[in-house]
């Protein structure tokens, strides 16, 4: 059963059905259809998980159909321990976002259609094994988000949408050039990622490999986003509707980090290793600087947006640490620390998706009630909205890396692994943990503690619909925080294979140069 | 405290009732109580009123027999037990979480279980009428869960997890009355200050992970003892680990959060900020003692070994906090500084090396009992005086609250180290340890003299607190109308008072020669040189410290009870010191300026950079590039394309 294709195109079927519905008279049918197909997609991803075997490091559930023979382009899908968790994250967050979006009243038909298209685009990125297909899905995911921000966004939506679009487009173009470069460097020419990783077409090529690496870097780093390419993110988040922010932070940012792990590390291991230190430095800046800027924000959405810069920095630190290898250092413990760093990075992607998804939902909920997002405008809400306060505090504590919640496991593993590669950078990155704790606690204090701001004495606590969106995310934070093993079993197998692959390329290159 | 080199996954079942192998269930009881109270607390409270508090009591009370079972099995000679499960996979390495119960863990378990039970019972009375009644018991139960996790852990990983979780509970409970700004501020300060220390703790773990990728104590200790970790690296790692203890145990220079933490309810101060959590730092150093000991030969800063640094930090803390305790007017703050000082005592003693190990742990246990008694006593006083905490507005409470009065004095005498009270035996052992070391190396005289000076100050400020609070005439309306607290509170006080006297006797020389020594001790590993037995009872030391205790109490009495010495006589010559102490030696001021405002300033600077420079650059490029391109296109269009067309046309016309 081609489960991946089924999962990938279920949203498209839903989207097609929605297109036939009446704009105004069948609003609820539209919403129900979108929800139903998002739920089916989620079920399909669970089915894929059921068919997935965590013990196997290679690509599974592969589907390969020739597509454009003359260019050797295939419709090639597959999953491994890297993409499986991200697929589940995507289908879950999409479902929750669509459920939450029942409250959207304006142009429901287009809204739901765009969301379903977006889901297919994101799933396509995480399942494609052919660069051509990958690029198509990458661009597909860009367009609906542009419209979601531009149509359903806040007052400065057009500025934000265009900024988001141009930034991402520049990144995509750089990535496209890099992909073409890889294609032409390979022989026989291929867009197949696995074939490229095996061929390693640019082994030993200094400048071309560097150019291609930085081309890919630009595409991925803008998406992550890494300092200094992050300024589209706060604008996009501030203007995007709640569900849009959830998907943007929860899934779209992960595509950048996914690109590094899926493409840059296996296909360009030498260039990755060579430039790892620079990535690590940018990651460190993203961590500390992102946390500091977050601290200075008064707008809750901006605060969470900058906290994403901060948290995605940990992902990139883990990636850089895995790519890096000290000269002469390939002992077993280095293998362990680099695998740990990579495990941590992937886990952090999932953790950040869960936690920040929840945080954006929570910000949206308070904005729906109070119509402001200024932290200073609240105060003492803990009394008025105890359930809301409790869940928000849980999400904040998860975000600041409290043990027992999933963020801690991920950050701890990133640090544990990255310390093997970068001692000082990792030590400095730990400062980010203190700053993060400071700004989240300060925010909690200003919103929830102290005497109740009389202005908000009429705010009501969370309703059932809102709880549906949040309870699954909170449960996941706790479950994987207490017992991350199931998730790590899936991730670890693939990441260990990746680190071994990189080392095999390095040692092949080393023995080659030794022979010469 | 010998650890086996590596733990078997299951320990062979002994012929005794198998309590040790059930030790892992201990944290689950308070956790269950917490879950029930969090999810159903509000509903149960509406239905059954304040009976819900007993859910919390039951959750922690159930752990007492289990903890006692573990302790008695170990005393009967059953081998320490543990077990673990896989938690995370890192390449071929598996991180585990698990538990391990040996003598050190067992005495901590019993201490936490008994003290927490007493405090929970007391809280039934103390929290009566509070809006957050069930929430309070939920948080307290969560704390007990976290504390048990911390104590039972068999690896640095789970130790760190428990460590941070007790920090969370501390945050929630300090800020329990969150409408009060003071409480919310104090909660935040506590969490962030301890987290600064925890960064050090984390770095220590990261360093060790490079050598021992399992993080289990047994493996880490084995690696340290067999020299698999270079001694300089080990020394650096232990110092980083110690940073965590500095934060948690409120040692200099991260002690600033603990006095503010008194904004929480008094039972919280008693349980968390006196008896158990703040002692976690001392417990951590004791638990990781093999590491500190193995690194003892590696001189680090200024030629000091890690243990000596621990000792000096402890000594500075003990003296500094004792002087601060003397100038406080708030009864809970006196006790808070006293706690800091006593924790400094324990750290100093651990810094003495193997000879101080038992004494420090012993004092940790006795201190837990008498200090929680004192805090509960202070809470009882506040309860009776309409939440008044200023000792200068009290006075004459002895007759109005007799049970509180007598039990508070028991605690105070124990803390002051008056003979036959628990604190005497443990403090005396610590001082004997310093005395013993001082006869080998001169530098340890500093420790001995410093600790004796602190002992004098301790007796003085406790005497001052007692006389101001209970003796003389009432100095305010509240004190005049004070009343004794309900039985739930006074019973808890009496139980703790019993321990505050007799707990020490297990370390007394005449009961079969110090039972505690025979149970909790540190055995240096095979490669470590210089075995040192715990210091034994010493009449000279006992004499000096008794003199210090009585001298301090007499001095306090002559100033505050008999008033034969005017306060100014002491205050005048020490005036600069007095002013500095009143300002808490300016720690808060300096931290506010440099750390709080400094960080906020940098944060706002970063925000401006982000808005105007980085995004400004982006917008600039976004503005310039299209402008340049369109201008260029216009020029090309006007002159090149158009010109070409004109040229061609011209050419065409010409031909």
In this predicted structure, the answer to whether residue B510 has a pLDDT above a threshold of 80 is: no
Whether residues B184 and A434 touch (CB distance < 8 A) is answered with: no
Tell me, what's the pLDDT at B511?
A: 62
Q: Both tokens of residue A447?
A: 């919103």
Tell me, what's the pLDDT at B10?
A: 42
pTM, full prediction: 0.91
- Which residues in chain B have Cβ-Cβ distances shorter than 8 Å to A454? none
Cα separation, B268 vs B266, in Å, equals: 5
Give alpha helix (H) positions in A296-331. 300-323
**In which band, very low, low, confident or very high, does the pLDDT at B533 lie, cut at 50, 70 and 90?**
low
Q: Both tokens of residue B296?
A: 């003892």
Cα separation, A493 vs A82, in Å, equals: 9
By the 8 A CB rule, do A418 and A426 touch?
yes
> Which candidate in B91, B212, B599 is best for mutational testing of the A interface (most A CBs within 10 A)?
B91
Cα separation, A300 vs A353, in Å, equals: 18
Tell me, what's the pLDDT at B525?
A: 59
**Among B214, B276, B206, B189, which residue's Cα sits nearest to residue B243?**
B206
Tell me, what's the pLDDT at A516?
A: 59
pLDDT above 90: percentage of residues in chain B? 38
Q: Measured between CB atoms, does A335 come within 8 Å of chain B?
A: yes
Size of interface A-B (CB pairs under 8 A): 141
Give alpha helix (H) positions in B475-614. 477-480, 487-502, 515-519, 539-556, 567-571, 575-582, 587-591, 598-608
Q: Both tokens of residue B618?
A: 């982006």
- Please enumerate in sequence order all residues whose Cβ is within 8 A of that of A68, keeping only pairs 6 or more positions apart, or say none: A132
- Dihedral (Cα; B519, B520, B526, B529), 10-degree rounding: -120
Q: Both tokens of residue B317?
A: 């803390």
**In which band, very low, low, confident or very high, does the pLDDT at B12 lie, cut at 50, 70 and 90?**
very low
Q: Measured between CB atoms, does A488 come within 8 Å of chain B?
A: yes
**In which band, very low, low, confident or very high, does the pLDDT at B655 lie, cut at 50, 70 and 90?**
low
Give me the count of residues in chain B.
655
Tell me, what's the pLDDT at B9?
A: 42
A102-126 as b/e: b if 16+ CB within 10 A:
bebeeebbbbbbbbbbbbbbbbbbb
Cα separation, A302 vs A237, in Å, equals: 7
Tell me, what's the pLDDT at B14?
A: 47
| Choice between B563 and B64, residue whose per-residue pLDDT is larger | B64
Those of residues 179-198 in B touching chain A at CB distance below 8 A are 179, 181, 184-185, 187-188, 191-192, 195-196
**Among A53, A10, A55, which residue's Cα sits nearest to residue A34?**
A10
Least confident stretch, B111-125, B194-208, B499-513, B593-607: B499-513
Cα separation, B637 vs B648, in Å, equals: 15
By the 8 A CB rule, do B159 and B287 touch?
yes
The three-state secondary structure class of B327 is coil
Q: How many CB atoms lie within 10 A of CB B158?
A: 25
3-state helix, strand, coil in chain A (%, to 5): 80, 5, 20
- Please enumerate in sequence order all residues whose Cβ is within 8 A of that of A320, keeping only pairs 6 or more positions apart, or say none: A276, A277, A279, A280, A283, A418, A421, A422
Phi, psi of B153 (to 5 degrees): -55, 150
* Residues B254-300 pLDDT 10s: 999 999 989 889 889 888 888 888 999 999 999 999 898 888 777 77
* Residues B68-107 pLDDT 10s: 999 888 888 888 888 889 898 888 888 999 999 988 999 9
| Choice between B4 and B644, residue whose per-residue pLDDT is larger | B644
In this predicted structure, the answer to whether residue B63 has a pLDDT above a threshold of 90 is: yes
Q: Within 13 Å and on the Cβ side, how many CA atoms surround A387?
A: 16
Tokens 């077409």 correspond to: A201
The three-state secondary structure class of B89 is strand
Q: What angle do CA B565, B568, B571 make, to 5 degrees?
A: 115
Residues in a beta bridge with A65: A75
By the 8 A CB rule, do A243 and A365 touch?
no
Q: Both tokens of residue B552?
A: 């301090």
Q: Give me the tens of pLDDT residue by residue for chain A, a chain 516 residues long.
A: 789 999 999 999 999 999 998 888 888 898 999 999 999 999 999 999 999 998 888 889 989 999 888 888 899 999 999 999 999 999 999 999 999 998 888 888 899 999 999 999 999 999 999 999 999 999 999 999 999 999 998 888 888 998 888 888 889 999 999 999 989 888 788 888 888 888 887 777 778 889 999 999 999 999 988 988 998 999 999 999 999 999 999 999 999 999 999 999 999 888 888 899 999 999 999 999 999 999 999 899 999 999 999 999 999 999 999 988 776 655 556 888 889 999 999 999 999 999 999 999 999 999 988 888 888 888 888 888 889 999 999 999 999 999 999 999 999 999 999 998 898 999 999 999 999 999 999 999 999 988 888 888 888 888 888 898 899 999 999 999 999 999 999 999 999 999 888 888 877 777 766 665
Whether residues A448 and B178 touch (CB distance < 8 A) is answered with: yes
Residue A400 per-residue DSSP state: T
By the 8 A CB rule, do A335 and A492 touch?
no
In this predicted structure, the answer to whether residue B354 has a pLDDT above a threshold of 60 is: yes
In this predicted structure, the answer to whether residue B526 has a pLDDT above a threshold of 80 is: no
3-state secondary structure A183-198: HHHCCCCCCEHHHHHH
| Choice between B170 and B535, residue whose per-residue pLDDT is larger | B170
Q: Both tokens of residue A467?
A: 């709880």
Instruction: Give whole-number Cα distances, A284 to A39, A398, B508, in Å.
Output: 38, 21, 55
Tell me, what's the pLDDT at B321?
A: 93
**In which band, very low, low, confident or very high, does the pLDDT at B628 lie, cut at 50, 70 and 90?**
confident
Those of residues 143-182 in B touching chain A at CB distance below 8 A are 160-162, 164-165, 168, 171, 175, 178-179, 181
- Which residues in chain B have Cβ-Cβ distances shorter than 8 Å to A410? none
Question: Considering CB atoms only, which of A295, A337, A450 is closest to B184?
Answer: A450
**DSSP codes, B220-269:** HHHHHHTT-S-HHHHHHHHHHHHHHHHHHTT-TTSTTHHHHGGGS-HHHH
Those of residues 559-618 in B touching chain A at CB distance below 8 A are 599-600, 602-604, 606-607, 610, 614-615, 618
B49: left (phi over 0), alpha (psi -120 to 50) or beta: left
Residues in a beta bridge with B95: B88
Least confident stretch, A8-12, B282-286, B469-473, B641-645: B641-645
**In which band, very low, low, confident or very high, does the pLDDT at B513 lie, cut at 50, 70 and 90?**
low
Q: Is the peptide bond before A376 cis (omega within 30 degrees of 0)?
A: no
In this predicted structure, the answer to whether residue B524 has a pLDDT above a threshold of 90 is: no
Tell me, what's the pLDDT at B530?
A: 43
- Which residues in chain A have Cβ-Cβ distances shorter than 8 Å to B213? 333, 336-337
- Which residues in chain A have Cβ-Cβ distances shorter than 8 Å to B178? 382, 448-450
**In which band, very low, low, confident or very high, does the pLDDT at B13 lie, cut at 50, 70 and 90?**
very low
Those of residues 149-178 in A touching chain B at CB distance below 8 A are 163, 166-167
Tokens 């976004």 correspond to: B622
User: Which residue in chain B has the smallest CA separation from A482?
Assistant: B87
Residues in a beta bridge with B99: B83, B153
**DSSP codes, A67-135:** EEGGGTEEEEEEE-TTHHHHHHHHHHHHHHHHHHGGG--SSHHHHHHHHHHHHHHHHHHHHB-BHHHHH
Domain ranges of chain A: 275-516
**In which band, very low, low, confident or very high, does the pLDDT at B303 lie, cut at 50, 70 and 90?**
confident
Distance (Å) from the C-alpha of residue A37 to the closest C-alpha of chain B? 33
- Which residues in chain B have Cβ-Cβ distances shorter than 8 Å to A434? 192, 195-196, 199
């Amino acid at each position: 059963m081609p489960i991946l294709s089924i999962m990938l195109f279920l949203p498209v079927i839903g989207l097609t059905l929605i297109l036939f519905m009446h704009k105004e008279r069948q609003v609820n049918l539209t919403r129900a259809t979108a929800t139903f197909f998002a739920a089916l997609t989620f079920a399909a991803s669970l089915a894929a998980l059921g068919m997935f075997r965590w013990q196997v490091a290679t690509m599974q559930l592969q589907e390969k159909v020739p597509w454009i023979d003359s260019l050797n382009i295939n419709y090639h899908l597959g999953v491994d321990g890297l993409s499986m968790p991200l697929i589940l994250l995507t289908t879950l967050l999409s479902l929750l976002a669509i459920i939450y979006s029942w409250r959207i009243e304006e142009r429901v038909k287009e809204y739901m259609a765009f969301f379903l298209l977006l889901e297919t685009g994101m799933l396509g990125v995480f399942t494609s094994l052919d660069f051509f297909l990958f690029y198509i899905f990458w661009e597909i995911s860009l367009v609906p988000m542009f419209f979601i921000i531009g149509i359903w966004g806040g007052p400065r939506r057009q500025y934000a949408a265009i900024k988001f679009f141009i930034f991402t487009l520049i990144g995509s173009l750089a990535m496209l050039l890099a992909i073409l470069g890889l294609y032409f460097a390979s022989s026989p020419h291929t867009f197949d990622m696995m074939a490229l990783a095996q061929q390693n077409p640019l082994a030993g090529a200094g400048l071309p490999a560097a150019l291609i690496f930085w081309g890919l870097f630009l595409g991925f780093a803008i998406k992550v986003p890494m300092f200094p390419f992050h300024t589209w993110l706060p604008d996009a988040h501030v203007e995007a509707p709640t569900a849009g922010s959830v998907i943007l932070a929860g899934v779209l940012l992960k595509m950048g980090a996914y690109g590094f792990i899926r493409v840059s590390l296996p296909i360009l291991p030498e260039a990755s290793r060579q430039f790892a230190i620079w990535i690590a430095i940018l990651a460190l800046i993203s961590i500390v600087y992102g946390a500091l800027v977050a601290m200075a924000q008064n707008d809750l959405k901006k605060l969470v947006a900058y906290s994403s810069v901060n948290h995605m920095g940990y992902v990139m630190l883990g990636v850089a640490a895995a790519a890096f290898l000290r000269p002469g250092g390939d002992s077993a413990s280095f293998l362990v620390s680099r695998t740990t760093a990579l495990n941590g990075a992937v886990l952090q992607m999932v953790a950040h998706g869960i936690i920040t998804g929840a945080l954006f939902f929570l910000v949206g909920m308070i904005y729906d009630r109070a119509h402001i997002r200024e932290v200073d405008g609240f105060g003492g809400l803990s009394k008025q909205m105890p359930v809301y306060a409790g869940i928000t505090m849980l999400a904040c504590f998860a975000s600041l890396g409290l043990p027992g919640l999933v963020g801690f496991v991920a950050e701890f593993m990133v640090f544990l692994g990255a310390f093997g590669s970068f001692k000082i950078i990792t030590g400095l990155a730990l400062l980010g943990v203190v700053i993060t704790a400071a700004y989240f606690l300060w925010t909690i204090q200003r919103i929830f503690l102290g005497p109740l701001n009389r202005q908000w004495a009429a705010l009501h606590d969370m309703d059932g619909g809102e709880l549906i969106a949040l309870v699954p995310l909170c449960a996941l934070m706790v479950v994987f925080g207490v017992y991350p093993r199931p998730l790590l079993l899936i991730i670890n197998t693939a990441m260990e294979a990746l680190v071994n692959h990189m080392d095999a390329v390095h040692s092949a290159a080393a023995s080659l140069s030794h022979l010469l | 405290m010998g650890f086996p080199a590596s733990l078997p996954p299951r320990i062979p079942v002994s012929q005794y009732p198998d309590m040790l192998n059930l030790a892992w269930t201990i944290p689950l009881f308070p956790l269950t109580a917490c879950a029930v109270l969090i999810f159903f607390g509000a509903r149960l409270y509406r239905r059954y009123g304040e009976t819900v508090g007993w859910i919390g009591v039951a959750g922690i009370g159930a752990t007492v027999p289990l903890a006692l079972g573990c302790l008695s099995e170990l005393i009967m000679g059953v081998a320490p037990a543990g077990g673990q499960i896989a938690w995370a996979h890192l390449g071929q390495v598996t991180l585990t979480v698990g538990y391990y119960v040996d003598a050190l863990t067992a005495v901590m378990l019993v201490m936490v279980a008994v003290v927490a039970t007493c405090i929970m019972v007391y809280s039934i009375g103390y929290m009566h009428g509070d809006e957050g009644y069930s929430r309070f018991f939920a948080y307290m139960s969560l704390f007990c869960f976290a504390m048990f996790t911390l104590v039972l852990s068999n690896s640095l990983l789970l130790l760190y997890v428990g460590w941070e979780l007790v920090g969370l509970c501390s945050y929630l409970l300090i800020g329990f009355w969150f409408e009060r700004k003071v409480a919310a501020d104090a909660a935040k300060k506590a969490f962030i200050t301890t987290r600064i220390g925890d960064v050090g703790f984390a770095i220590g773990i990261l360093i060790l992970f490079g050598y021992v990728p399992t993080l289990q104590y047994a493996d880490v200790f084995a690696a340290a003892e067999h020299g698999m970790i270079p001694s300089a690296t080990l020394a650096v790692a232990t110092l980083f680990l110690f940073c965590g203890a500095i934060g948690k145990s409120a040692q200099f220079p991260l002690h600033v959060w603990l006095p503010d933490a008194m904004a929480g309810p008094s039972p919280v101060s008693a349980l968390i900020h006196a008896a158990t959590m703040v002692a976690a730092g001392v417990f951590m150093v004791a638990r990781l003692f093999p590491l500190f000991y193995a690194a003892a030969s590696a001189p680090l800063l200024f030629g000091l070994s890690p243990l000596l640094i621990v000792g000096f930090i402890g000594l500075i803390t003990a003296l500094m906090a004792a002087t601060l305790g003397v100038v406080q007017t708030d009864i809970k703050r006196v006790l808070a500084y006293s706690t800091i000082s006593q924790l400094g005592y324990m750290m100093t003693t651990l810094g003495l090396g193997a000879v101080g190990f038992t004494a420090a742990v012993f004092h940790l246990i006795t201190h837990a009992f008498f200090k929680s008694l004192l805090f509960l006593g202070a809470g009882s006083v506040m309860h009776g005086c309409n939440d008044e905490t200023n000792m200068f507005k009290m006075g004459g409470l002895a007759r109005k609250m007799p049970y509180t009065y007598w039990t508070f004095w028991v605690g105070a005498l124990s803390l002051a180290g008056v003979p036959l009270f628990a604190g005497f035996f443990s403090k005396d052992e610590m001082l004997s340890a310093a005395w013993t070391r001082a006869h080998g190396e001169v530098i340890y005289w500093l420790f001995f003299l410093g600790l004796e000076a602190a002992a004098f100050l301790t007796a003085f400020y406790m005497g001052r607190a007692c006389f101001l609070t209970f003796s003389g005439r009432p100095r305010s309306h509240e004190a005049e109308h004070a009343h004794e607290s309900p039985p739930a509170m006074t019973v808890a006080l009496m139980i703790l008072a019993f321990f505050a006297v007799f707990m020490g006797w297990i370390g007394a020389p005449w009961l079969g020669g110090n039972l505690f020594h025979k149970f909790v001790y540190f055995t240096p590993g095979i490669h470590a040189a210089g075995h040192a037995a715990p210091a034994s009872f010493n009449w000279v030391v006992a004499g000096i410290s008794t003199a210090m205790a009585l001298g301090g109490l007499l001095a306090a009495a002559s100033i505050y009870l008999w008033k034969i010495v005017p306060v100014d006589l002491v205050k005048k010559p020490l005036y600069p010191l007095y002013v500095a102490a009143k300002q808490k030696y300016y720690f808060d001021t300096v931290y506010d300026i440099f750390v709080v405002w400094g960080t906020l300033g940098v944060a706002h600077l970063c925000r401006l950079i982000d808005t105007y420079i980085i995004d400004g650059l982006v917008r600039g490029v976004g503005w310039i590039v299209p402008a340049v391109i369109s201008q260029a296109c216009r020029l090309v269009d006007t002159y090149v394309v158009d010109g070409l067309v004109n040229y061609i046309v011209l050419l065409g016309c010409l031909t």
